[in-house]
Structure 1
Amino acid sequence: MLNKEIYIELQDTQWEFEYFDHDRIIARAIVYDENGQFYFVRAERDDDFGKAILIETAGGGVEIGEDLLTAIQRELKEELGASVEVVCKIGVVSDYYNLIHRHNINNYFLCKVESFGEKNLTQDEMDSFHLSTLKLSYEEAVQEYENRTNTRLGTLVANRELPILHRAKEIIDAII
């Protein structure tokens, strides 16, 4: 039962739906270490979605010709500086960003840190989103997601990621 992938379909409850005109295939990960600590990305945004400080899983768009496993390894190296072992695929969350007319297909993986090195953030990630790494316990991460529901985008991200974090914790507890 633990290796059964979950699938969640969410709607954007924060902005009115007009239409969506593109899909984005995304690889994301719940990243943990041998001490049970979790690693996330903290983003400070001030854009069309509004001003917000967010917690989010590391990950991003799958590039043309790239498979999901290659994408998640690349994204974790870029955003966290982490080399990881991919433990398993947790599942898929399909959600929408009505404001930018986008359907997100988020493929989530559970990954265990092997080592940390240099990050390779894009200029936009540094200048527009001020990305940094958060190292949190499971309980701290849950609280951080809940605290960030004070913005509309924070609510969308928490709705998408909290069920995945809970499932990841179940899997980790079962394999320890």
Structure 2
Amino acid sequence: MQELKLELTDHVWPLTYIDHDRKIVRAIVFDKEKNFYFVTSQRDDEFGKVTLIEISGGGVEAGEDLESALKRELKDELGAQVKIITKIGVVSDYYNVIHRHNLNNYYLVQALSFGEKHLTKDEQEKFHLSTVKLSYQEAEKAYERATQDKLGKLITARELPILRRAKELLDSNHA
């Protein structure tokens, strides 16, 4: 199956300028029973006050390759040791409110085990990150509900196509 490539714009907040790019890795994490693992975030910042789910992941550090960054981020945020199945695709999107362009590299990974998380101070105190296990249907509904919030609209536009592609891959036994 061909990698998904999406170019999205931010129609929620006005564009004034973009002053930085962020290379990001994210993964649809599933277990043997085909449950999916996400992070929930409770925010009250420049994006507004919102609680929503996101596909786990984060920034790629200087000199780090994508797969190493992905494994590090999933260990930190979910406490997960994973097996990378395949790259799903790349989503280019923007957060106009913080003047940022995101280059999101998405993977499909299988959780092998869960252990201790290593959340940053901001992830704990500013975003209140926690792990949530959902069925595909529950995740799809959570994304659809998120479109009621400004940030949720941007995240859903980016992540719902990725979740749907992951389900196609799992259903076609590519995982």
State TM-score, norm by structure 1: 0.98
Residue in 1 that maps onto 2:59: 61
1:131 paired with 2:129, answer: yes
Tell me the equivalent position of 1:39: 37
Root-mean-square deviation (CA, aligned residues, Å) is 0.7
Read off the aligned partner of 2:35 and give its amino acid letter: Q
Aligned counterpart, 2:48: 50
Equivalent position amino acid for 1:157 in 2: I
Could you list the per-position Cα deviations for residues 63-100 of structure 1 after superposition, in whole angstroms to 9, with x for gaps in the alignment? 00100000000000000000000000000000000001
Q: Which secondary structure does the structure 2 equivalent of 1:41 belong to?
A: strand
Deviations 1:34-58 (A, max 9, x none): 1010000000000011000010000
Q: Distance in 2 between matches of 1:143 and 1:13?
A: 22
| Equivalent residue number for residue 156 of structure 1 | 154
For residue 164 of structure 1, give the secondary structure of its aligned residue in structure 2: helix
2:5, 2:147 → 1: CA distance?
22
Q: How does 1:93-172 map to 2 (within 5 A)?
A: 93-172=91-170
Q: Find the partner of 2:10 among 6, 9, 12.
A: 12
Unaligned runs of 5+ in 1: none
Whole-angstrom distance in 1 between the partners of 2:144 and 2:4: 22
Per the alignment, residue 28 of structure 2 pairs with 30
Q: Secondary structure at the match of 1:66?
A: coil
Paired letter, 2:53: I
Q: Which amino acid aligns with 2:67?
A: L
Give 1:6 deviation, angstroms: 1.0
SS in structure 2 at match of 1:130: coil
Distance 1:134 1:147 in 2: 16
Report the alpha carbon displacement of residue 150 of structure 1 after superposing the two structures with TM. Answer: 1.2
Q: Which deviations, in whole Å up to 9, do the C-alpha atoms of 1:82-134 show, x marking residues without a partner? A: 00000000000000000011000000000000011100000110000000001
Report runs of 4+ in structure 1 exceeding 2 Å deviation: none
- Which structure 2 residue ranges, 5 or more long, are not aligned? none
**Count of residues paired in the alignment:** 174
CA distance in 1, matches of 2:125, 2:79: 18
Partners of 1:81 and 1:49 in 2: how far apart?
Answer: 27
TM-score normalised by structure 2 residue count: 0.98
CA positional deviation for 1:144: 0.4
SS at match of 1:35: coil
CA distance in 1, matches of 2:103, 2:54: 15
Helix, strand or coil at the partner of 2:172: helix
